[in-house]
Amino acid sequence: MNIKSKPMGAYQTNCYIVTIDGKDFIIDPGVDATEWVMQNVTNPVAILNTHGHFDHVWSNAELQEKLKIPLYTPKGDVEMLSSSSWVEGLPPSKPDFEVDGDAELFFDDVKVKFRHFPGHCPGCSTIEIGDAMFSGDFIFERSIGRCDFPNSNPSDMVDSLKRFKELDFDKKVYPGHGNPTTIKQEQQYVDYWIQNL
């Protein structure tokens, strides 16, 4: 498996291209991601959103049109793809598949697992491919997603963090912003975050 990443836009949102078994998966194509994605894919099969905030989905529609591949978005965040209260001009996109809760998708022999961790926003999810977890804005290196946005829910975040702490395996974690970390590394901070929410 090969993972390419590039921070996009003013918020430096990580866009990822995951290549496994000759298939390219595009995760969170943010602001101005299209050109970089087009230069770095050879066999794109799907666009995957960890959640619906504008800085993670800005280039969805353009890539759907150029690449003719399906878009998968967590069900709870689909409405966010049409408009943003934070920024004007979001190109609206429509998922081909709404991912409901925890779900496993199969692309031939490649398994893509969505794991629903609401709190930062209703649909907030992580995406596991191979030995990697793409955590969007749920978990960062020594930090967690903000819960003070209009559609955030601190109580949901507490529940999500408790479930995250119970994961009994380790994988490298690639967040929506900042540097990679690991599940085990971040599990040690969960109690602190719960106490401070």
Give the chain's residues under pLDDT 70: none
Per-residue confidence (pLDDT) for residue 86, from 0 to 100:
84
CATH of the structural domain 2-195, one choice from 3.40.630.40, 3.40.640.10, 3.40.50.300, 3.60.15.10: 3.60.15.10
List the beta strands (DSSP E) in the chain.
2-8, 13-20, 23-27, 44-48, 71-74, 97-99, 103-107, 110-116, 125-129, 132-136, 139-140, 143-144, 172-175, 181-182
Alpha-carbon dihedral angle through residues 87, 88, 91, 96, given to the nearest 10 degrees: 50
Per-residue confidence (pLDDT) for residue 83, from 0 to 100:
85
Q: Read off the pTM.
A: 0.97
